[in-house]
Amino acid sequence: MAAPVRLDDELDLRIESLAYGGNGVARLNGFVVFVRRGLPGDVVRARVTKVKRNHAEALALEVVEPGAPRVDAPCEHYPACGGCRFQDLAYEAQLDAKAAQVAEALRRIGRIDEPPLEPIVPADPIFHYRNKLEYSFTSTPEGPALGFHRAGRWDEVLDIRKCWLTTDLGNGIRDAVRTWAREQRLEAYDQAEHTGFLRHLVVREGRNTGQTLIQLVTAPGRLDADSFVAALERFPEVRSIHWSVNDRPAEVTNLPT
């Protein structure tokens, strides 16, 4: 039986649940369509991006009717940023979706009809909890920018003004390094052309010690270490600053300093 959809078809679909991996699950006359950015209860207009014999994949273009669990994402960069996936889904609904996926796996794979699941222990807090973030540099007309890769893209970096995963300290450090890079007129590394200097910034906060580690990753070249240290002096929490040189194409930060 041929699939009832074709590539690039635009469909109005009601999202029933979340599949493992985070895509919404919709059905068209029994045919399953996995919808990226579709949330439970939503009616979305989606474009078909892939068609297989027993299912299709689609991207939600518009929320025609929001489901009850849908909320406004607090981050101004969502959903363009690839760092977060479900800021627009109420946290309680996220927990329910995870529990349902575990139960389904135990039933389907483990052959346990009624899995004896304990309630999920929720995170507290749900924002500003990450103690380590890795940022990438990119070029803009204003100078080097610093942020995360756009969702689904390895070749585009989104300049971040505020990240809800890190703390005010982490946001402040990132912004200070961006300002320093622009004042020094440094060039961000271009992954396609293999040119430029600045590659990554790693910020690791010790929540129990109150101490912060900074790692700057660059291509081979000259670094004015004194000016970089001076740019971070206003953060007393910063106790160690490291410079790593990456002379390979691979985007890695686990390098000697």
Strands of 43-51's sheet in order across: 10-14, 43-51, 55-65, 31-36, 24-28, 17-18
Q: Is the preceding omega at residue 79 within 30 degrees of 0, hence cis?
A: yes
Structural domain range at position 169: 132-245
Residue 55, domain CATH:
2.40.50.140
In sequence order, the β-bridge partners of residue 244 are 217
Answer yes or no: do 156 and 241 share one domain: yes
Mean pLDDT of 230-257: 93
Does 227 lie in the same domain as 136? Answer: yes
Could you give the number of structural domains in the chain?
Answer: 2
* pLDDT at position 1 over 70: no
* Structure-block tokens of residue 134: 């890795």
Task: Tell me what the mean pLDDT of segment 170-196 comes to.
Answer: 97
Give yes or no for residue 257 having a pLDDT over 80. no
Q: Determine, yes or no, domain membership for 82.
A: no
Out of 65, 83, 104, pick the residue that ends a domain.
65
Assigned domain for 230 exists: yes
Q: Is residue 56 part of a domain?
A: yes
Alpha-carbon span 249 to 31, nearest angstrom: 43
Same-domain pairing of 136 and 241:
yes
* pLDDT tens digits for range 110-169: 999 988 999 999 999 999 999 999 999 999 999 999 999 999 888 899 999 999 999 999
Q: Residue 48's pLDDT is what?
A: 98
For residues 139 and 228, state if they share a domain.
Answer: yes
Residue 201 within a domain: yes
Whether 60 is covered by a domain: the verdict is: yes
Say what the pTM is.
0.89
Does residue 106 form part of some domain? Answer: no
Residue 140 resides in a domain = yes
Cis-peptide, bond into residue 125, ω within 30° of zero: yes
26, 43, 65 — which closes off a domain?
Answer: 65
In a domain, 188, yes or no: yes
CATH number of the structural domain spanning residue 161:
2.40.50.1070
Per residue in 71-111, pLDDT (tens digit) is 999 999 999 998 999 999 999 999 999 999 999 999 999 99
Q: Are residues 136 and 240 in the same domain?
A: yes
